[in-house]
Amino acid sequence: MELAVSSARETETAATSGGLSPQQMVAIYRLMYLSRCVDDREILLKRQQKVFFQISGAGHEALQVGAALALKPGYDWFFPYYRDRALCLGLGVTPADMFLQAVGAATDPASGGRQMPTHWSSRTLHIVSTSSSTTTQLLHAVGCAEAGRYFSRHPEAAANADGDYRAFHDVEFHGDEVVFTSLGEGSTSQGEFWEALNTASNQKLPVIFCVEDNGYAISVPVEVNTPGGNISKLVANFPNFHFAEVDGTDPEACLRAFKAAAAHCRAGLGPAFVHGHVVRPYSHALSDDDKLYRATAEREADALRDPLAKMQMRLLREGVLTADEINALEKSLDLVAAEGAERALEAPLPTVKSITEHIYSEDLDPTSSDFATEQIQAQSEGTSLAGGGVAGSAKGSGPRTMADLINACLHDEMRRDPRIVIYGEDVADASRESALEEVEGKGGVFKLTAGLQREFGSERVFNSPLAEANIVGRAIGYATRGMKPVVEIQFFDYIWPAMHQIRNELALMRWRSNGAWASPTVLRVPIGGYLTGGAIYHSQSGESIFTHIPGLRVVFPSNALDANGLLRTAIRCDDPVLFLEHKRLYRETYGRAPYPGPEFAIPFGKAKIVRAGTHITLVTYGALVPRSLQAAERAHREHGIDVEVLDLRTLNPYDWEAIATSVRKTSRVIVAHEDMLSWGYGAEIAARIADELFDSLDAPVRRVGAMDTFVAYQPVLEDAILPQPETILKAIVDLRSF
């Protein structure tokens, strides 16, 4: 099999410009046939219930072989989709590997039995793990191309460094590599398709977008998804693109199209769009029957365009192979597939013990004492902040706000680590650089990124389009290449367009690829209410929605020093981190602190006792820390109740030991948060306390949270909706007398 692929590639490399040599034709047919016969064998296994899912690449083979032969595995980068069997065979994935995935073997190199078949992944070939979600991979491809360009302009950034995520992410780049990504025509309806084209076009990125147009998205015909029925017509006005629309059943036309596309990209002229018209002879998947929704005449017309049959006819017609030679070739390939399937059926299955492997990095533990540098606070005070903007004002020993110390941390870390890029909506000082000579700069709607573009330049700090999925999706692509994107979602209230990328991609990359790929990225997100007028769409909480995502770290500091130290850990760690910054706390008097120096870090999962007490434990975080402290002081003053207030600081992981130790001491506990009470973060903590600390409790576990509604604009309503110090005080007094 190895031979089949390499001979196809070698003959391709030696190709002359016009037409295909007989050798090339055979090599192409070999790959196309192999793809089809692996599909057929897998279908057989599915019918025998030996594999559990099947979706085929039938009808798409010619287009994909064209792409495979025009590009370089292990040099270029690939973000394919589930139909790309022939592409992956052409790149060097073996039929044996494919069957290992189909049976869900422990030795499945793409996912170790975690993903369905045809969810490709190979580090050596540069095939990045993709999900079942249609279109998400396009933004990863864009970020990957941006990272490649960045390294070619800043080769020094490729150097490894100990002590942070870089120790585990080697960088490869060449300067002219191309990023390939593909999707079906139905998937072009997703917003992320347009978001990806937007950035690739604007930045002239070397990405080849390949639309494999089989005319259907399951049962939905192309005209329902694409106004006018032809995606090429709709995208034709994007600047900087090379466009090609081809008969995707003709391998020669496809190869030519991809060669031209790759040449355009390698020359730095911009992205390419290859639209191939293919057929789908096997229905959508084995669970689908297209006779239910396609007319017979239409299916018969498609069958006449089957690329495999057409190529076979051509070999015969042009006298390249005789019928006997074709038979012999096909038989040998059938044998390759049969042997691959046979071996896969004997392969070891994954162990149940392995399930929890690779949810988080096993190399770099952000809870480790390596990140416990609180003691060196203030040692190097004021030594590193040469930048302007807010960072400039964070110099010196006076108390600084949370906004100041987050900005200071960003300055410090960007200086230390050239792989960091920062982008988001309005985060740059000014996109039009010439304006910087006369204006102060924007630097974020809350000014948290002020001065960063001015100090580090527009290649490292820049504005994104107004598109949240674009921000997170590209970050995943950047991280694929070993970079560290530290991106901003302007308001938590608008994180939802990125939710698909966060849950199905960012947090899953490591687990679904069985540890082969990872997305160590920081998402900084201003959150929360108490703003007086923030209303529904600038006051939301919702952290428990994200702590419910395995693979994602969630951090929620309550004061300037914690924000600085936890952000540093977030940036250096090797997992994706959602870093929640409470808007109300940005500039409060509460929790200000002197600048602690450029090495100050706080490990994740370590709560802080912000007020010691003996009668009641109050577990809280974020904006409820100062409110809980107020309530605790009044409880002491007015009722003689001594409350211990525990600031969790990080929500995933969280410090169960600290909670348990305190509850064992006080026997009474309240969990208080700003988010809505029902199904909130407190529900999990309360349930675990009831479960594991039942014997230590003298009273029921109490919770304090917002009313189960959104935050209204009118302050009278806002005050009633969100928990106030009085709400907490009442819970304390009630619980003490229980």
Ligand X SMILES: Cc1ncc(C[n+]2csc(CCOP(=O)(O)OP(=O)(O)O)c2C)c(N)n1
Kindly give the interhelix angle for 251-266 and 22-47, rounded to the nearest 10 degrees: 100
Q: Does 182 help bind Mg ion (rule: CB under 5 A)?
A: no
Q: Which of residues 82-101 bind ligand X (CB under 6 A)?
A: 83
Quick one: what does residue 41 bind among ligand X, Mg ion, none, with the CB cut-off 5 to 8 Å set by partner type?
A: none
Task: Tell me whether residue 148 or residue 186 sits nearer to Mg ion (CB atom).
Answer: 186
Q: Which is nearer to Mg ion, 277 or 538 (CB)?
A: 277
Which of the listed partners (ligand X, Mg ion, none) does 83 bind, with a CB threshold of 5 to 8 Å by partner kind?
A: ligand X
Touching Mg ion, residues 380-399 (CB under 5 A): none
Q: How many CB atoms lie within 10 A of CB 465?
A: 15
The tokens describing 272, both together, are 């390419």
Q: Mask 184-203, x = binds ligand X (CB under 6 A)? A: xxxx----------------
Name the segment binding ligand X (CB under 6 A); options: 99-107, 213-221, 263-271, 480-488.
213-221
Stretch that binds Mg ion, among 44-52, 179-187, 472-480, 544-552 (CB under 5 A): 179-187
Query: Rounded to whole angstroms, how far apart are CA atoms 477 and 140?
Result: 4
Tell me which of 111, 181, 214, 373 binds ligand X, using CB under 6 A.
Answer: 214
Q: Which of ligand X, Mg ion, none binds 131 (CB below 5-8 Å, type-dependent)?
A: none
DSSP codes of every residue in 96-135: HHHHHHHHT-TT-TTTTT-S-TT---BTTTTB----SSSS
**How far, in Å, CA of 215 to CA of 233, rounded?**
15
Within positions 46 to 85, which residues make up the interface with Mg ion, using CB under 5 A? none
Subset of residues 128 to 167 that bind ligand X, contact rule: CB under 6 A: 132-134
- The mark string for 277-316 relative to ligand X (x by CB under 6 A, - otherwise) is -------x--------------------------------
Write the CA distances from 430 to 120, 376, 385, 434, 462, integer angstroms.
40, 36, 21, 8, 8
The contacts of residue 447 (CB under 8 Å, 6+ apart) are: 389, 390, 403, 407
Binding residues for ligand X, total number by CB under 6 A: 15
When the beta carbons of 134 and 470 are compared against ligand X, the nearer one is 134
- Closest separation in Å from C-beta 190 to ligand X: 7
Please tell me whether residue 209 binds ligand X under the rule CB under 6 A.
no
- Please identify, using beta-carbon distances, which residue of 113 and 184 lies nearer to Mg ion: 184
Q: Judged by CB, which is closer to ligand X: 277, or 608?
A: 277
> Quick one: which segment of 214-222, 535-543, 600-608, 697-705 binds ligand X (CB under 6 A)?
214-222
Q: Is 352 exposed, middle or buried (0-12, 13-18, 19+ CB in 10 A)?
A: exposed
Q: Considering the complex, what minimum distance in angstroms separates the CB of residue 82 from ligand X?
A: 7
Structure tokens at 429: 């000082």
Q: Which does 134 bind (CB under 5 to 8 A by kind): ligand X, Mg ion, none?
A: ligand X
**Interaction mask 187-226, Mg ion, x per CB under 5 A:** ---------------------------x--x---------
Q: Is 538 a catalytic residue?
A: yes
| Contact partner, 187, from ligand X, Mg ion, none, Cβ < 5-8 Å per class | ligand X
Q: Which residue is nearest to Mg ion (CB)?
A: 184
- DSSP state string for 598-658: TT----TT--EEEE--SSEEEEE-TTHHHHHHHHHHHHHHHH---EEEEE--EEES--HHH
Pick between residue 202 and residue 287 the one whose CB is nearest to ligand X. 287
> Of Mg ion, ligand X, none, which one does residue 689 interact with (CB within 5 to 8 Å by kind)?
none
Structure tokens at 654: 């969280």
How far is 292 from 273, CA to CA, in rounded Å?
32
H/E run at residue 336:
helix 323-345
Sequence-separated (6 or more) residues with CB below 8 Å from residue 379 = 597
| Beta strand 242-247 pairing with 272-277 | parallel
Q: Among the candidate windows 118-126, 216-224, 250-258, 555-563, which touches ligand X by CB under 6 A? A: 216-224
Of the pair 214, 361, the CB lying nearest Mg ion is at 214
249 touches, from ligand X, Mg ion, none (C-beta below 5 to 8 Å by class): none
Q: Which of 539, 735, 720, 708 is nearest to 619 (CA)?
A: 735
> Cα separation of 702 and 596, whole Å?
36
Q: How far is the CB of 133 from ligand X (least distance, A)?
A: 4
Q: Which is nearer to Mg ion, 247 or 493 (CB)?
A: 247
Measure the CA–CA gap between 201 and 203, rounded to whole angstroms.
Answer: 6
- The span from the CA of 502 to the CA of 510, in Å, is 13
Estimate the crossing angle of helix 136-153 against helix 191-202, to 10 degrees: 20
Per CB under 6 A, the segment of 127-135, 506-514, 579-587, 711-719 that binds ligand X is: 127-135
Residue (55 or 414) nearer to ligand X, CB:
55
Residue 400 DSSP label? B
**Residue type at 37 in one-letter notation:** C
- Binding of ligand X by 650 (CB under 6 A): no
User: How many whole angstroms separate alpha carbon 440 and alpha carbon 151?
Assistant: 30
Q: Which of 126, 358, 538, 582 is catalytic?
A: 538
Taking the C-alpha atoms of residue 311 and residue 654, their distance in angstroms, rounded to an integer, is: 60
Task: Give the nearest distance from C-beta 59 to Mg ion in angstroms.
Answer: 10
Using CB under 6 A, list all residues that contact ligand X: 83, 132-134, 183-187, 212, 214, 216-218, 284
Using CB under 5 A, list all residues that contact Mg ion: 184-186, 214, 217
Active site residues: 538
